[in-house]
Amino acid sequence: MSSIDQNLNLPNIAQQLESENSRDRLRALVSLRDLSPEDAVPLILKVIDDDNLQIRSMAIFALGLKHTEDCFPVLSKILETEDDYGIRADAAGALGYLQDNRAVEPLLRAFYEDTEWLVRFSAAVSLGNLGDVRAYDALIQALDSEETMLHQAAISALGEVGDLRCVDKILKFAQSDDWLTRQRLAEALGHLKCDKSLSALNYLVKDPHPQVVTAARYALDAYETNT
């Protein structure tokens, strides 16, 4: 879509976002993907408190993809004050897409203080996306969670953070009964270049699950290419 077409559509999109019909509002939100962040964000904010949770969820996700100065404070407030845990999880996920390291502090608070594992999961994933070493202690703590999906998120995030102190902590998951956890481990070890990682990858390349083997081989290839 050209910039001229976008500008012509802005009034129509704004009008659709105020429609009483939720389908109209959803269609309008979808059409915003073609707009610049500067044009899209003010329109997204029209429905950020929509009564329809699907629309709110989509609007929050859209804010994560459209990077302007208005996005961070809005998403942080939703994460800290929203009653619906699904919406809080959406906000935590969107903050990771912003690639704004100011998000580390609200994400850490959500990780430590939120009682819903899904919010903590989203926070862990986003902390990994940001790759900030300040997340290290929280991610290590997540390894002791009772939630397997939180283990997976933390292992992946620790690989993104890249602090070699975590290698001994995550290697215990090489024996996990969950193949997806072992796959995440192989992927993370590919980012954590050291002798222990190399040894573990040579073990995981013999894993009984083909997707773990593929991940381990890919990590080994990357390891050898960069050493």
pLDDT band at 197 (very low <50, low <70, confident <90, very high): very high
Rounded to whole angstroms, the Cα distance separating 216 from 143 reads 21
Q: Mean of the pLDDT values across residues 11-36?
A: 89
Round the average pLDDT of the chain to a whole number and report it: 92
Q: What is the pLDDT of residue 227?
A: 58
Selection from 22, 21, 61 nearest residue 44 by Cα:
61
> Where is 52: in which H helix or E strand?
none
- pLDDT, residue 5, reads 45
**Cβ(149)–Cβ(121) under 8 Å?**
yes
pTM of the model: 0.86
> Bigger pLDDT: 10 or 114?
114
Query: Out of 13-17, 129-133, 215-219, which region has the weakest mean confidence (pLDDT)?
Result: 13-17
Which residue's structure tokens are 């939120």?
Answer: 114
Domains of the chain, by residue range, sit at 170-227
Mean pLDDT of 162-173: 96
pLDDT in tens, 118-148: 999 999 999 999 999 999 999 999 999 999 9
Sign of the CA dihedral running 140, 143, 149, 150: negative
Report the pLDDT averaged over residues 57-75.
94
CATH topology of domain 170-227: Leucine-rich Repeat Variant (1.25.10)
In the predicted model, what is the mean pLDDT of residues 5-24? 80
User: Distance between CA 174 and CA 181 in Å, rounded?
Assistant: 8
* Separation between Cα atoms, residue 142 and residue 161, nearest integer Å: 14
Q: What is the DSSP letter of 218?
A: H
Cα 125 to Cα 91: distance, rounded to the nearest angstrom: 12
Q: Which residue shows structure tokens 């989203």?
A: 122
Give the per-residue pLDDT at 109: 97
The average pLDDT across 80-91 equals: 97
Model confidence at 3, in pLDDT bands (50, 70, 90)?
A: very low
pLDDT band at 222 (very low <50, low <70, confident <90, very high): confident
pLDDT category, 2, cuts 50, 70, 90? very low
Measure the CA–CA gap between 20 and 124, rounded to whole angstroms. 36
- Residue 226, pLDDT > 70, answer no
Extract the tokens encoding 136.
């290290």
